[in-house]
C-alpha cells in the first residue's frame, strides 16, 4: 500500500502572526472562553501526573563549577509547556519559554517564546511560530474572560500596576468586554515603560478620556472597578510582593491577578469570592514546589493552596472559572460583592490561540511553507 509520507509545515514570523490576527483581542477572549469550557468538561490534557501541569522547567543552581552554565537571574526560565486540546481545536503543541530579565540590557524582550503546533494523531508539525504575541494575548485575554462574567457591567475605572506587555494586553481584554470603561489609573516603575504605555492607550483607546499616573499601589486599587497587578519582580519573599488590602478595595470590585501579589487578612474573609482560572493547575503547582508554595510561585491562587493546607481556607470555597463560564457556577451575583481571580496561564491556551491563528494563516496564504521530508530516512 502506497502512503503519502511527505510532511510540510508553515513557519510564521512575528509579522506573519500579526497578519494572521494574533492581536485580535476580542476574538482571543472568545477563544479563551471556549478553552475554559473544555477544561471544565475535561476535553484536554497537559503534562504531569494529574494532566494539569504548567510545564517542565530547567532549574539552575546558585553556584556551578561550570562557568558557561546560565545563572539563576531574576525571572530566568527555560521551560517546555505541552498540551492537547479537544473541542473545535483537536490539536496539540508545545511552547518553548525562554526568559531572563537581563535580556532588557540587550534590547530584547524579557521572554523569547516559540510555539510548535502539531497534529495530535501523527505528531507531525503543522506550524512553527513566533509566540511572544501569542502568549501575551492569550494571557491578557483570561482576565477579560473573568471580567465578562465577574466584573460589574457598568465598570468604568481600571486600576493597573505594571504598564508592561501583560498590562497592555489585560487592558485590551477589559476594553473588549467592558465598553463603558473611560478611566485608567496606572503605576509603573520606569518613565520609559509608562511613556510607551500612555502613547499606546492614546492611540488605541481614545474612549479612555481620564488617565491618571499614580505613585502607590493603594492609589491603583482605591475606587477602581477592575484591578489588575501585572508587574514582574523578585520571587521568594511574599512580604515583598505587591499587596492588596481590603480597606482599599471598592465594593463590587473585580481583581484579576496574573502576576506577583499578596493580600491581607481582610481579603481572606469568606465574603471575598476567590476564583481560580483552573483548579487543577494550582493543585499541580502545589505538589511540584517546596512549601509554602507562595514563596516559589507568587500568584494569589498558590497562596489560596497554602491557606487550604494551613486550614484557614476550605477547598470548597474556591471557585473555578471553567464552571462559571459553563454555567455550572454563578457569575457575579450582586453589585457589591468583591471577587479576586488568580490567573496562572496554561499551555492549553497557547494551543487554542495558535490553532485559530494557524487556520487563518492557512486560509489567507500567510507564512513560509517548509518541508520536513518527502520520505523519512528512518521508519
pLDDT at 179: 93
E strands present in the chain: 7-12, 44-46, 56-58, 77-85, 91-99, 111-118, 125-130, 157-161, 183-187, 210-213, 226-229, 243-244, 254-257, 262-263, 272-276, 318-320, 338-342, 368-373
pLDDT at 74: 75
E strands present in 100-209: 111-118, 125-130, 157-161, 183-187
Sequence ranges of the domains in the chain: 7-134+348-373, 140-346
Lowest pLDDT segment from 35-44, 98-107, 220-229, 345-354: 98-107
What DSSP state is assigned to residue 197? H
Task: Give the other-Cβ count within 10 Å of 327's Cβ.
Answer: 11
Q: Do domains 7-134+348-373 and 140-346 have the same CATH topology?
A: no
- Cα dihedral 229/349/80/262 (nearest 10): 20
Q: Could you tell me the maximum CA-CA distance found in the chain, to the nearest angstrom?
A: 73
CATH number of 7-134+348-373: 3.30.1780.10
- Cell 494551543, located at residue: 351
Task: Give the other-Cβ count within 10 Å of 313's Cβ.
Answer: 18
**What is the per-residue pLDDT across 93-139, written as a single tens digit (0 to 9) for each?**
999 999 988 888 899 998 999 999 999 999 999 999 999 999 999 99
**What is the per-residue pLDDT across 290-344, written as a single tens digit (0 to 9) for each?**
999 999 999 999 999 999 999 999 999 999 999 999 999 999 999 999 999 999 9
Distance CA 33, CA 356 (A): 13
Res 232 pLDDT > 90: no
252 close to 337: Cβ distance less than 8 angstroms: yes
Lowest pLDDT segment from 99-103, 179-183, 374-378: 99-103
Distance CA 185, CA 212 (A): 5
Res 75 pLDDT > 90: no
Mean pLDDT of the chain, nearest integer: 96
Whole-number CA gyration radius for the chain: 21
Res 171 pLDDT > 70: yes
Res 190 pLDDT > 80: no
Distance CA 162, CA 242 (A): 11
Q: Is the dihedral of CA 342, 343, 347, 353 positive or negative?
A: positive
pLDDT at 1: 62
**Distances, alpha carbon 262 to alpha carbons 165, 182, 256, 350, in Å:** 21, 28, 13, 27
Mean pLDDT of the 30-44 span: 98
Question: For residues 191 and 291, which has the higher predicted lDDT (pLDDT)?
Answer: 291
Mean pLDDT of the 273-293 span: 95
Residue 235 binned pLDDT confidence (cut-offs 50, 70, 90): confident
Backbone angles phi, psi at 251, to 5 degrees: -55, 135
> For 140-346, which CATH superfamily applies?
NAD(P)-binding Rossmann-like Domain (3.40.50.720)
Distance CA 29, CA 25 (A): 6
pLDDT at 193: 82
What does pTM read for this prediction? 0.95
Concatenating the DSSP letter of every residue in 233-284 gives: ---S-GGGSPEE-GGGSPTT-EEEE-S--EE-HHHHSTTEEEEES-HHHHHH
Amino acid at each position: 500500500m502506497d502512503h503519502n509520507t511527505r510532511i510540510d509545515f508553515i513557519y510564521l514570523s512575528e509579522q506573519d502572526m500579526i497578519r494572521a490576527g494574533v492581536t485580535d483581542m476580542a476574538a482571543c477572549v472568545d477563544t479563551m472562553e471556549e478553552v475554559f469550557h473544555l477544561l471544565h468538561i475535561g476535553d484536554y490534557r497537559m503534562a504531569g501526573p494529574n494532566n494539569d501541569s504548567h510545564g517542565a522547567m530547567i532549574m539552575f543552581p546558585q553556584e556551578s563549577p561550570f562557568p558557561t552554565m546560565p545563572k539563576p537571574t531574576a525571572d530566568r526560565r527555560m521551560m517546555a509547556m505541552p498540551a492537547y486540546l479537544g473541542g473545535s481545536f483537536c490539536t496539540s503543541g508545545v511552547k518553548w519559554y525562554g526568559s531572563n530579565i537581563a535580556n532588557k540590557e540587550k534590547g530584547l524582550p524579557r521572554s523569547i517564546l516559540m510555539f510548535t503546533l502539531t497534529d495530535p494523531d501523527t505528531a507531525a508539525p503543522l506550524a512553527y511560530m513566533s509566540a511572544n504575541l501569542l502568549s501575551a494575548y492569550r494571557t491578557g485575554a483570561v482576565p477579560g474572560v473573568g471580567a465578562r462574567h465577574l466584573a460589574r457591567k457598568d465598570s468604568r475605572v481600571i486600576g493597573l500596576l505594571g504598564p508592561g506587555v501583560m498590562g497592555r494586553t489585560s487592558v485590551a481584554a477589559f476594553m473588549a468586554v467592558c465598553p463603558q470603561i473611560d478611566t485608567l489609573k496606572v503605576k509603573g516603575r520606569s518613565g520609559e515603560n509608562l511613556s510607551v504605555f500612555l502613547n499606546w492607550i492614546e492611540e488605541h483607546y481614545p474612549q479612555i478620556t481620564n488617565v491618571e499616573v499614580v505613585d502607590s499601589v493603594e492609589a491603583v486599587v482605591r475606587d477602581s472597578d477592575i484591578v489588575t497587578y501585572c508587574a514582574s519582580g523578585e520571587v521568594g519573599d511574599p512580604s515583598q510582593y505587591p499587596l492588596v488590602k481590603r480597606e482599599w478595595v471598592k465594593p463590587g470590585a473585580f481583581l484579576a491577578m496574573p502576576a506577583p501579589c499578596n493580600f491581607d487578612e481582610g481579603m481572606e474573609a469568606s465574603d471575598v469570592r476567590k476564583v481560580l482560572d483552573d483548579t487543577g493547575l494550582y493543585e499541580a503547582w502545589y505538589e511540584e514546589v517546596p512549601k509554602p508554595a507562595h514563596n516559589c510561585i507568587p500568584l494569589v491562587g498558590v497562596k489560596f493552596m497554602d491557606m487550604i493546607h494551613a486550614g484557614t481556607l476550605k477547598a470548597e470555597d474556591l471557585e473555578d472559572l471553567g464552571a462559571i463560564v459553563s454555567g455550572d457556577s454563578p457569575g457575579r451575583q450582586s453589585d457589591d460583592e468583591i471577587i479576586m481571580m488568580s490567573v496562572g496561564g496554561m499551555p492549553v491556551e497557547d494551543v487554542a490561540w495558535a490553532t485559530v491563528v494557524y487556520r487563518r494563516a492557512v486560509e489567507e496564504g500567510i507564512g513560509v511553507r517548509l518541508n520536513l521530508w518527502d520520505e523519512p530516512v528512518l521508519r
